[in-house]
Amino acid sequence: MAGKATVGAAVLGALAGAVAGGVAVGTVSGGAPGAELEAARAEVAALRGRVETLEAARPSSSAPASAAAERIESQERRIRALEEAAAAPPPRDDRETEPSGEAARRKEIEERLQELARRTDEAARRLAEAKRGEAAGERAPGKDDPRQVFLDRSKSEDERVAALTRVRDARGIDRAIVDAAVELFRASGRPESRERILRDLHGTRDAEVRRLFLEALRSDADEGVRVRAAGDIDTFAEEAEVRTALDAARLGDASEKVRKAALETLRKD
């Protein structure tokens, strides 16, 4: 009798464990193979009914209870196996989770092309802005226009002399520029400025320019200015008054450089 009770207790314990295992599978995994798990649970329930019947009848032989216990234990192992299968992560599919080497290279190339396109757009934008700025500067003469700078008497002497050179290079010397240059020459106390004004007016066939060169050749206090006048007055060397002034400088100027420059100009004719 005690043996039957022991077998019954063992069977009931195994049954409880199997049922608990089945509940755990259903709770934890949520994705266990449903058909197999439900079949195992149904069989455990049937066996429990048989065990309860055996316990109530308490037959003299314990063989049927032992057979039921073995069957419950087998089903318990099966339920555990199903639980472990349900808890295990699904097999990894490299094709879905990892890009192939070719796909990775294609992605890198696309990213580089996008970056290149961005930089190209930025460079084009900056170039367009620069061109707009240049066009605006050309349309609006102002502080950077050499003619306006030279004619602006509020500018410094250095600024105006430098601007005159730019006007000459642009072939922009006209009546207004000549008048302003003659005025600046006579007002300047700096020999280097006077010499540069004569240099920039060289080749300009204008009566005021001719008079300015004669004045500089005859009476400027600076040797370098007189040398410049003696050489660049060649534009008017065919005129009698100019040749007379050159001959006087060749013979009577205190500077050997001036005398030599005057002689060279006379010989050009």
Mean pLDDT of 213-229: 98
Mean per-residue pLDDT of the chain: 78
pLDDT tens figures, 177-211 = 999 999 999 999 999 999 999 999 999 999 999 99
Residue 35 has pLDDT above 60, yes or no: yes
Q: Rounded to whole angstroms, what are the CA distances from 95 to 89, 101, 103, 134?
A: 17, 11, 11, 57
99 torsion bin: left (phi>0), alpha (psi -120 to 50), beta (else): beta
Residue 36: per-residue pLDDT: 65
Phi, psi of 155 (to 5 degrees): -75, 160
Q: Rounded to whole angstroms, what are the CA distances from 174 to 23, 70, 156, 157, 201?
A: 108, 124, 21, 20, 10
Mean pLDDT of 229-252: 97
Higher-pLDDT residue of 20 and 138 is: 138
pLDDT tens figures, 151-184 = 999 999 999 999 999 999 999 999 999 999 999 9
Least confident of 82-86, 87-91, 265-269: 87-91
d(CA 227, CA 262): 8
Residue 10: per-residue pLDDT: 44
Q: How many residues does the chain have?
A: 269
Mean pLDDT of 103-119: 83
Domain ranges in the chain are: 2-87, 108-139, 146-268
| 146-268 carries CATH number 1.25.10.10 | yes
DSSP letter for each residue of 123-170: HHHHHHHHHHHHHHHHHS-STT-HHHHHH-TTS-HHHHHHHHHHHHHT
Assign 268 a pLDDT band (cuts: 50, 70, 90).
confident
Q: What percent of the chain lies above the pLDDT cut of 70?
A: 65
Residue 118 CA neighbour count, 13 Å, CB half:
6
Higher-pLDDT residue of 79 and 143 is: 79
Higher-pLDDT residue of 214 and 98 is: 214
Q: What percent of the chain lies above the pLDDT cut of 90?
A: 46
The answer to whether 65 touches 7, Cβ cutoff 8 Å, is yes
Mean pLDDT of 18-40: 49
**Cβ atoms within 10 Å of 50's Cβ, excluding its own:** 16
Residue whose entry in the numeric block shows the structure tokens 């195994």: 14
Residue 132: per-residue pLDDT: 72
